[in-house]
Amino acid sequence: MWIYHPQTGAINAFLELIGLGSLARGWLGDPNTALSALAMAGAWSGYGFTMVLFLAGLGSIETALYDAASVDGANGWQRFRHVTFPGLANTTNVVILIVFMNTMRVFDFVYVTTKGGPIDSTQVLATIIYRETFQYFRVGYGSAFAVVTMTIIMAASLVYLYLRERGR
């Protein structure tokens, strides 16, 4: 919230510094920019975890494959395309699934920063579940939304894994 603060936030201060002060705004208070601002913050917060996964994936690729590609005359791009990229396929699958699941069930970022506002522009399934269950005391609706969310995540994950395995 400090980064996006309308008066003292880092983004607006940076825009002022480089002479683009006219672009400064209340990022979380504007319905046109609030969801994008939350998406950027969410991506930034998940960057470290996904980077650790990719670094672990890079460490699992046999160095002999890079040596063989070099002996065969492959340049850096060809080594990446034919060794690194296929070697990271399983890691990429895991990262895509985890990011998708986290995106579908995000609650903390939205609730702490905007509580679903302004004008419901940042409402996501998890905040709808919370609102229906704990603010309006409609436990049945909240439970139904939770089951629908779980079903969507499970179905999309299974379809993704099926299509990914079929393509091998």
On the question of pLDDT at 49 being above 70, the answer is: yes
Considering the domain boundaries, does residue 32 fall inside one? no
Residue 102 corresponds to which tokens in the numbers above?
Answer: 């986290």
Considering the domain boundaries, does residue 63 fall inside one? yes
On the question of pLDDT at 167 being above 80, the answer is: no
The whole-number pLDDT of residue 120 equals 92
Question: In the predicted model, what is the mean pLDDT of residues 31-56?
Answer: 93
Q: Name the residue range of residue 94's domain.
A: 48-166
On the question of pLDDT at 35 being above 70, the answer is: yes
The residue among 96, 98, 95 whose CA lies nearest residue 106 is 98
Q: What is the mean pLDDT of the chain?
A: 92
On the question of pLDDT at 168 being above 80, the answer is: no
Q: What total of structural domains would you count in the chain?
A: 1
- Evaluate if pTM is beyond 0.85: no
On the question of pLDDT at 84 being above 90, the answer is: yes
Considering the domain boundaries, does residue 129 fall inside one? yes
Considering the domain boundaries, does residue 68 fall inside one? yes
On the question of pLDDT at 8 being above 90, the answer is: no
Tokens 């905040």 correspond to 127
Considering the domain boundaries, does residue 18 fall inside one? no
Considering the domain boundaries, does residue 61 fall inside one? yes
Question: In the predicted model, what is the mean pLDDT of residues 24-39?
Answer: 91
Q: What is the CATH number of the domain that holds 120?
A: 1.10.3720.10
Considering the domain boundaries, does residue 53 fall inside one? yes
What's the pLDDT tens digit per position in 95-143? 999 999 888 889 988 999 899 989 999 999 999 999 999 999 999 999 9
The whole-number pLDDT of residue 165 equals 84
Contacts of 75 (CB under 8 A, 6+ apart): none
On the question of pLDDT at 66 being above 90, the answer is: yes
Considering the domain boundaries, does residue 106 fall inside one? yes
Dihedral pair phi/psi, residue 60, rounded to 5°: -90, -5
The residue among 86, 56, 57, 54 whose CA lies nearest residue 69 is 86
